């Protein structure tokens, strides 16, 4: 195949500069469903034979009505074909390891160190049974106990439980403790209201309601700060607690947080701190120092455990001395020699999940803190805040975007921006800009509902991202905004270089056409 | 960086400034440039809204960091060395967390960065997770014979709590009847979770047989205002109660729903709850390829018929399949999103947040490699070995199998009739390299002195043993031989 020699120079070998933005295209395998890949008779893995006689008794000892007669209609695939299917799907998924993941604001996307994966997968974590003799699990109990102590120091709280499954579960556990606290005082019938703010995570409102409380939601004052006057008007003898995030999802730190806590305390209520947004304030300020009675952390946010497509995460509840008796059981205790589980806690709200928490994530979070120490955690916070303010400067140079509220003030670790001006000018909405960003190998998230900030976009550039990352991300947004003004159709019809094209979501709202499983699709859509 | 090399390359041992590998912009030159760009004199300016009264003006009191990866690995390795795993020890522990073989392909897939580190992207750039989770729902749907299965909730405890509250919202009734043996920890979670709106009535199982007391359940139903009858298959005693269909008929006869918690690993051989009348099935997928992780590997499932009154009550996300603008493309998205607290805050159903999605993908890969034959065969193997273990241990003098009449799956109760307690026997087994079964909660069996047992307190005589496909016949024989020495 070699052609006749031609004369070349080093200039011919030179590779030219890249364009300003990446010519990204996501994998598009056009992958069928597992069920479409099935070939009757194929096997993915073989299982041990019984070794012992079935002799007609097993599983025929089951009564007829309880014996499965027809095999489940699972697909049948060889091992390679299962692997290949899922590897293709993985390539059609944009993990945080692969992109400048600053766009999932409030989610604190940061690097999950690989050494911590090795710890979590070690058989001396992964293959421990929770009911083993305590003498055989001293290492993992010590990790849990030490992590509790570290989070108590970071929050200033007296005691921490690591049992909740993730952040919202930790909010629920805190609300359950608040309920138990007032029930013990005979005040639960009277104190049936919980106050929260619209820029606190919706789970604060939803968990309080689920636990039986009425919910009062405060809106911000004109400057975007939580409204102290509104709080004063809302508190009273019916107040059980304030559930509040700080900084809120706008990235604005509430400078009157002590007055908020004091106001609730004076009314006889408890103050509960949602620390989902703690990443920018580690080592800067602490929940207990502002007077809070309870708080929670999301270990999959602030403390680096991977997000797993939406969990498993891990939650930590911190409480003051007065609420220690209500903590989920068991607690991990240390007598100076050995660690043990204390299940004999009569005042406890009981279990909030099986056993002792999402242990692999507790191991990861412990290792992450141990790699950083006090100085490192403070560096995490300061660089997260620096990154955020740097990105804000770059983003606000883009036509059509603004950062509502707190004019001229700095933000902590994230900003809720608004594309209202661009939408007004071009008719292109924030969701569409986010989808167009997918064509450049990244994405963003708008906001929780309701959209108090119109056409929202929430960016949280944690300490994991470099200056060059932030410049690239801002350049992508700038390019999409330019397109919105110059060629709105290109944005409205995006994504163009993603795995799939626009989904006809309207079928997902109609009971006649929604299909949550393959069997529902077969029955309802295919009529099979 | 240059200072570290000194003049003419002399080694200086210099380790300052502190630049952490996880924090690229901790390079001082970068920080200075960025501060200049934003017009800030220092990072202090970003904290102008934090009042001095709550500023922490001292370093956090934390252990000195282990900044090198080597030092960290050594430290954590030292802690892990103080654990003894069930890989290296013959374990007969079950009771809600099950040791099974995890096929290598399962770990290969779920440890991929693309799945492990993704979070909440849209159905475009995160198409892969939407498809993998929809397929998980679909695979579970086949196993459960249910048309609607949720994206995973946290765990089986939460799944039971939510399933019962769903039943409460659908029926408008207050009382919940627990008809089979349920682990006290799980019951604790259920009671705490439903407390604002429901009363839980535990109808004790027969102490003699461990089976549901159908007459007592019927009497409670006759008293009215029952939202649901809840039963488990297998129950917390490991047995599959022949009364399961009759409990459903009784519930329906009284206008209540029937909620059944089940172990999905059993469903290749045990009938799925929907087939004997369950309106809502729930449970934990941990057995399906999720490592035990000291009780940290869970994901809950909830499954129902495809009726709007059921779908409308799910708090969690339900992924659905939909066409795209291109022929032949599978698209995905949220079904009936406007029932969730993401959409409606406190007006949504209960609450939804980050739960356990990756463990759902894990269970999906597991079911995909197992297929229908694999699930049937593993069910047969587990039931056969469970029965073998029960028969073999029953031959040991001083050991009784109190509920042996019923069919069992994996877990089974053992009663020691001699003077040695469960704890003493487990000490002896541990010396012989075996993790014995966990003490059963005393509430299932009469206490030795005849006193009423405190709920949740461990029994001295009764233990729950567990056998799965990882236990060979030789393993079971080894256990029996050890017990022959220990049971006095």
A133: CATH: 3.40.640.10
Which class would CATH give B104-367?
alpha beta
Following CA atoms B369, B88, B237, B314 in sequence, which dihedral angle do they give, to the nearest 10 degrees?
Answer: -50
Q: Per the CB < 8 Å rule, is A44 touching B370?
A: yes
**Token pair of A466, please?**
């470099």
Q: How far is CA A340 from CA A127, A175, A363, A434, in A?
A: 19, 27, 17, 49
Q: pLDDT (tens digit, 9 = 90+) per residue, A171-229?
A: 999 999 999 999 999 999 999 999 999 999 999 999 999 999 999 999 999 999 999 99
Radius of gyration for chain A, computed over Cα atoms and rounded to the nearest angstrom: 27
The third-level CATH classification (topology) of the domain covering B90-97+373-486 is 3.90.1150
3-state secondary structure of A471: helix
Q: How far is CA B360 from CA A60, A125, A330, B409, B446, in A?
A: 31, 20, 27, 23, 39
Whether B120 has its CB under 8 Å from any CB of chain A: the answer is yes
Q: How far is B451 from chain A (nearest CA, A)?
A: 19
Contact B164, B217 (CB under 8 A): no
Task: Please report the pLDDT score of residue B448 as a whole number.
Answer: 46
Domain end call among A350, A370, A390: A370
Task: Please report the pLDDT score of residue B446 as a whole number.
Answer: 46
Is pLDDT above 90 for B433? yes
Contacts of B308 in chain A (CB under 8 A): 511
Q: For residue A363, what is the nearest residue in chain B, using CA coordinates?
A: B76
Q: How far is A174 from chain B (nearest CA, A)?
A: 12
The verdict on A402 and A357 lying in the same domain is no
The verdict on A178 and A323 lying in the same domain is yes
**Token pair of B116, please?**
């492990």
Is pLDDT above 90 for B12? no
Task: Please report the pLDDT score of residue B16 as a whole number.
Answer: 75
Q: How far is CA B373 from CA A42, A117, B376, in A?
A: 9, 33, 5
Beta strand A193-197 with A214-218 is parallel
Task: Please report the pLDDT score of residue A110 as a whole number.
Answer: 98
Contact A392, A411 (CB under 8 A): yes
Is pLDDT above 90 for B2? no
Domain coordinates of chain B in residue numbers?
2-57, 90-97+373-486, 104-367
Contacts of A131 in chain B (CB under 8 A): 93, 95, 97, 438
Q: How far is B347 from chain A (nearest CA, A)?
A: 7
Whether B383 has its CB under 8 Å from any CB of chain A: the answer is yes
| Mean pLDDT, 10 residues at a time, chain A of 528 residues | 82 93 96 98 96 71 93 98 98 97 96 98 98 98 98 98 97 98 97 97 96 97 94 98 96 97 98 98 98 98 98 98 97 97 94 96 98 97 98 98 94 98 98 96 94 97 98 98 98 96 95 98 95
- The percent of residues above 90 in pLDDT, for chain A, comes to 96
- The span from the CA of B408 to the CA of B390, in Å, is 9
Residue found by looking up tokens 């606000």 in the block: A396
Higher pLDDT, A240 or B14: A240
Is pLDDT above 60 for B345? yes
**Does pTM surpass 0.95?**
yes
Whether B455 has its CB under 8 Å from any CB of chain A: the answer is no
What are the residues facing A196 on neighbouring strands?
A: A217, A243
Q: Per the CB < 8 Å rule, is B25 touching A82?
A: no
The verdict on A246 and A366 lying in the same domain is yes
Contacts of A146 in chain B (CB under 8 A): 63
Whether B363 has its CB under 8 Å from any CB of chain A: the answer is no
- Flag whether A317 is in a domain: yes
Contact B293, A128 (CB under 8 A): yes
- The percent of residues above 90 in pLDDT, for chain B, comes to 91
- Flag whether A463 is in a domain: yes
Q: Per the CB < 8 Å rule, is B26 touching A310?
A: no
Q: Which of A427, A428, A430, A433 is nearest to A495 (CA)?
A: A433
- The span from the CA of B3 to the CA of B9, in Å, is 10
Nearest beta carbon to residue B49 from set A377, A387, A409: A409
Residue found by looking up tokens 């597992």 in the block: A34
Please report, for the domain that includes residue A421, its CATH number: 3.90.1150.10
Task: Please report the pLDDT score of residue B255 as a whole number.
Answer: 98
- Flag whether A56 is in a domain: no
| Exposed e or buried b per residue across A289-300, where buried means at least 16 C-beta atoms within 10 angstroms of its C-beta | ebbbbbbbbbbb
Following CA atoms B361, B365, B368, B369 in sequence, which dihedral angle do they give, to the nearest 10 degrees?
Answer: -170
Whether B34 has its CB under 8 Å from any CB of chain A: the answer is yes
Whether B326 has its CB under 8 Å from any CB of chain A: the answer is yes
- Flag whether A274 is in a domain: yes
Q: How far is A63 from chain B (nearest CA, A)?
A: 6
Q: For residue A522, what is the nearest residue in chain B, using CA coordinates?
A: B147
Contacts of A354 in chain B (CB under 8 A): 96-97, 155-157, 185-186, 189, 284, 295, 298
Alpha helices in A396-494, H assignment, sequence order: 420-426, 430-437, 467-486, 488-492
Whether B367 has its CB under 8 Å from any CB of chain A: the answer is yes
Nearest beta carbon to residue B127 from set A92, A409, A502: A92
Contact A164, A317 (CB under 8 A): yes
**Token pair of B313, please?**
């009550």
Return the HEC string of chain B: CHHHCCHHHCCCCCCCCCCCCCCHHHCHHHHHHHHHHHCCCCHHHHHCCCCHHHECCCCCCCCCCCCCHHHHHHHHHHHHCCECCCCCCEECCCCCCCCCCCCHHHHHHHCCHHHHCCCCCCCCCCHHHHHHHHHHHHHHHHHHCCCEECCCECCHHHHHHHHHHHHHHHHCCCEEEECCCCCHHHHHHHHHHHCCCCEEEECCCCCCCCCCCHHHHHHHHHCCCEEEEEEEECCCCCEECCCHHHHHHHHHHCCCEEEEEECHHHHHCECCHHHHCCCEEEEECCCCCCCCHHHCCCCEEEEECCCHHHHCCCCCCCEEEEEECCCCCEEEEECCHHHCHHHHHHHCCCCCCCCCHHHHHHHHHHHHHHHHHHHHHHHHHHHHHHHHHHHHHHCCCCEECCCCCCEECCEEEEEECCCCCHHHHHHHHHHCCEECCEEEEHHHCCCCCCCCCCCCCEEEEEEEEECCCCCCHHHHHHHHHHHHHHCC
Nearest beta carbon to residue A515 from set B320, B345, B430: B320
Contacts of A514 in chain B (CB under 8 A): 311, 320, 335-336
Nearest beta carbon to residue B142 from set A44, A73, A515: A73
HSE on the CB side for B301, CA within 13 Å?
34
DSSP E strands in A262-419: the ranges are 270-274, 294-298, 315-319, 331-334, 339-342, 415-418
Q: pLDDT (tens digit, 9 = 90+) per residue, B266-325?
A: 999 999 999 999 999 999 999 999 999 999 999 999 999 999 999 999 999 999 999 999
Contacts of B60 in chain A (CB under 8 A): 153-154, 282-283, 374, 377-378
Contacts of A248 in chain B (CB under 8 A): none
Q: Which of A412, A459, A407, A408 is nearest to A277 (CA)?
A: A412
Tally Cβ neighbours within 10 Å of residue B400: 16
What are the residues facing B55 on neighbouring strands?
A: A285
Q: Per the CB < 8 Å rule, is B341 touching A206?
A: yes
Inter-chain Cβ pairs, chain A and chain B, closer than 8 A:
747
Task: Please report the pLDDT score of residue B443 as a whole number.
Answer: 63
Tally Cβ neighbours within 10 Å of residue A407: 9
A388: part of which helix (H) or strand (E)? helix A359-395
Nearest beta carbon to residue B141 from set A139, A349, A517: A517
Q: Per the CB < 8 Å rule, is B97 touching A354?
A: yes
- The span from the CA of B119 to the CA of B325, in Å, is 25
- Complex ipTM tops 0.95: yes
- The span from the CA of A403 to the CA of A401, in Å, is 7
Residue B158 CA to its chain's centroid (Å): 9
Range of the domain at A484: 378-492
- The span from the CA of A260 to the CA of A200, in Å, is 14
Task: Please report the pLDDT score of residue B453 as a whole number.
Answer: 47
Instruction: Give the mean model confidence (pLDDT) for residues B9-13.
Output: 72
Beta strand B411-416 with B458-466 is antiparallel
Whether B419 has its CB under 8 Å from any CB of chain A: the answer is no
Number of domains into which chain A is organized: 2
CA A31, A36, A41, A45 dihedral sign is positive
- Flag whether A81 is in a domain: no
Task: Please report the pLDDT score of residue B348 as a whole number.
Answer: 95
Q: Per the CB < 8 Å rule, is A284 touching B81?
A: no
Residue A47 CA to its chain's centroid (Å): 36
The verdict on A356 and A393 lying in the same domain is no
Q: Which of A46, A22, A206 is nearest to A99 (CA)?
A: A22
The DSSP 8-state label assigned to residue A331 in this structure reads E
Beta strand B300-304 with B280-284 is antiparallel
Contacts of A351 in chain B (CB under 8 A): 157, 185-186, 188-189, 192
Whether B20 has its CB under 8 Å from any CB of chain A: the answer is yes
- Flag whether A98 is in a domain: no
Q: pLDDT (tens digit, 9 = 90+) per residue, B435-477?
A: 999 999 876 654 444 444 455 678 999 999 999 999 999 999 9
Q: Which of B196, B381, B275, B366 is nearest to A192 (CA)?
A: B196
Please state, rounded to an integer, the average pLDDT across all residues of chain B. Answer: 94
Contact A173, A204 (CB under 8 A): no
- Flag whether A61 is in a domain: no
The verdict on A158 and A292 lying in the same domain is yes
């Amino acid at each position: 195949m070699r052609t006749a020699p031609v004369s070349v120079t080093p200039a011919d070998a030179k590779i030219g500069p890249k364009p300003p933005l990446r010519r990204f295209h996501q994998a598009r395998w056009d992958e069928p469903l597992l069920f479409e890949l099935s070939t009757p008779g194929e096997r993915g893995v073989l299982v041990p034979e019984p070794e012992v006689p079935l002799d007609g008794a097993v599983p025929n000892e089951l009564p007829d009505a309880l014996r499965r007669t027809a095999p489940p209609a699972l697909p049948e695939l060889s091992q390679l074909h299962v692997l290949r299917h899922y590897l293709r799907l993985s390539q059609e998924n944009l993990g945080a390891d692969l992109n400048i993941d600053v766009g999932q604001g409030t989610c604190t996307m940061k690097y999950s160190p690989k050494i911590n994966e090795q710890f979590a997968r070690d058989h001396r974590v992964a293959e421990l049974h929770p009911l083993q003799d305590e003498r055989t699990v001293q290492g993992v109990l010590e990790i849990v106990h030490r992590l509790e102590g570290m989070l108590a120091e970071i929050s200033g709280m007296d005691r921490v439980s690591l049992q909740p499954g993730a952040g919202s579960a930790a909010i629920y556990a805190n609300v359950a403790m608040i309920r138990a606290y007032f029930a013990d005082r005979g005040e639960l019938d009277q104190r049936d209201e919980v106050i929260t703010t619209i820029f606190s995570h919706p789970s604060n409102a939803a968990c309080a309601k689920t636990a039986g409380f009425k919910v009062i939601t405060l809106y911000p004052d004109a400057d975007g700060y939580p409204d102290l006057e509104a709080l004063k008007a809302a508190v009273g003898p019916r107040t059980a607690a304030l559930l509040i995030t700080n900084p809120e999802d706008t990235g604005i730190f509430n400078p009157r947080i002590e007055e908020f806590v004091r106001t609730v305390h004076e009314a006889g209520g408890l103050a509960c701190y949602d620390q989902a947004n703690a990443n920018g304030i580690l080592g800067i300020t602490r929940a207990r120092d502002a007077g809070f009675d309870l708080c929670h952390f999301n270990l999959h946010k602030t403390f680096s455990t991977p997000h797993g497509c939406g969990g498993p995460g891990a939650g930590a509840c911190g409480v003051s001395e007065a609420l220690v008796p209500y903590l989920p059981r068991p607690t991990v205790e240390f007598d100076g020699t050995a660690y043990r589980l204390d299940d004999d806690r009569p005042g406890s709200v009981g279990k909030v999940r099986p056993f002792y928490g999402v242990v692999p994530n507790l191991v990861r979070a412990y290792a992450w803190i141990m790699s950083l120490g006090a100085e490192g955690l403070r560096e995490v916070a300061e660089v997260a805040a620096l990154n955020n303010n740097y990105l804000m400067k770059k983003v606000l140079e883009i036509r059509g975007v603004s950062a509502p509220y707190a004019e001229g003030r700095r933000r902590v670790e994230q900003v809720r921006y608004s594309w209202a001006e661009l939408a007004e000018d071009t008719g292109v909405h924030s969701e569409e800009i986010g989808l167009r960003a997918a064509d450049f190998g990244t994405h963003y998230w708008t906001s929780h509902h309701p959209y108090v900030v119109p056409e929202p976009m929430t960016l949280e550039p944690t300490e994991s991202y470099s200056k060059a990352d932030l410049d690239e991300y801002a350049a992508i947004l700038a390019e999409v905004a330019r397109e919105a003004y110059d060629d709105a159709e290109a944005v409205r019809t995006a994504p163009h270089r993603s795995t799939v094209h626009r989904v006809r979501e309207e079928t997902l709202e109609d009971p006649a056409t929604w299909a949550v499983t393959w069997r529902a699709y077969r029955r309802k859509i295919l009529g099979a | 960086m240059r200072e570290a090399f000194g003049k003419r390359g002399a080694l200086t041992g210099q380790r300052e400034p502190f630049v952490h590998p996880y924090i690229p912009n901790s390079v001082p030159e970068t920080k200075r440039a960025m501060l200049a760009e934003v017009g800030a004199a220092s990072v202090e300016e970003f904290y102008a809204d934090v009042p001095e009264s709550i500023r922490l003006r001292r370093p956090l009191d934390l252990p000195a960091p282990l900044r090198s990866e080597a030092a960290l690995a050594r430290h954590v390795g030292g802690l892990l060395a103080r654990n003894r795993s069930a890989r290296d020890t013959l374990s007969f522990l079950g009771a809600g967390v099950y040791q099974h073989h995890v096929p290598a392909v399962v770990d290969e897939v779920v440890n991929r960065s693309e799945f492990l580190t993704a979070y909440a992207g849209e159905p475009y750039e995160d198409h892969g997770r939407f498809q993998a989770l929809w397929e998980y729902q679909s695979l579970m749907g086949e196993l459960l014979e249910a048309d609607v299965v949720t994206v995973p909730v946290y765990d089986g405890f939460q799944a039971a709590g939510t399933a019962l509250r769903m039943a409460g919202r659908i029926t408008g009734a207050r009382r919940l009847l627990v008809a089979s043996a349920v682990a006290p920890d799980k019951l604790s979670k259920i009671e705490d979770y439903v407390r604002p709106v429901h009363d839980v009535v535990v109808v004790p199982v027969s102490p003699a047989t461990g089976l549901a007391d159908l007459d007592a359940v019927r009497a409670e139903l006759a008293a009215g205002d029952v939202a649901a009858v809840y039963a488990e298959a297998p129950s917390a005693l490991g047995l599959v109660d022949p009364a399961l269909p009759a409990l459903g008929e009784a519930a329906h006869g009284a206008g209540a729903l029937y909620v059944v918690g089940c172990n999905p690993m059993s469903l290749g051989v045990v009938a799925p709850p929907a087939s004997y009348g369950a309106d809502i099935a729930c449970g934990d997928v941990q057995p399906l390829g999720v490592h035990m992780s000291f009780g940290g590997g869970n994901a809950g499932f909830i499954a129902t018929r495809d009726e709007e009154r059921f779908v409308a009550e799910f708090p969690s996300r339900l992924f659905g399949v939909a066409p795209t603008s291109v022929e032949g493309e599978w698209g995905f998205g949220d079904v009936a999103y406007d029932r969730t607290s993401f959409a409606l805050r406190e007006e949504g159903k209960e609450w939804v947040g980050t739960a356990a999605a990756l463990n759902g993908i894990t269970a999906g890969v597991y079911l995909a490699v197992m297929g229908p034959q694999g699930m049937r065969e593993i069910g047969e193997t587990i039931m056969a070995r469970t029965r073998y273990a029960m028969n073999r241990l029953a031959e040991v003098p001083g050991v009784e199998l109190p509920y042996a009449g019923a069919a069992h799956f994996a877990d089974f109760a053992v009663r020691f009739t001699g003077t040695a307690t469960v704890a003493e026997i487990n000490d002896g087994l541990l010396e012989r390299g075996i993790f014995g079964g966990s003490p059963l909660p005393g509430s299932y069996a009469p206490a030795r002195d005849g006193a009423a047992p405190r709920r949740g307190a461990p029994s001295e005589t009764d233990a729950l043993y567990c056998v799965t496909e990882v236990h060979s016949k030789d393993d079971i024989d080894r256990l029996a031989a050890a017990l022959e020495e220990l049971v006095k």
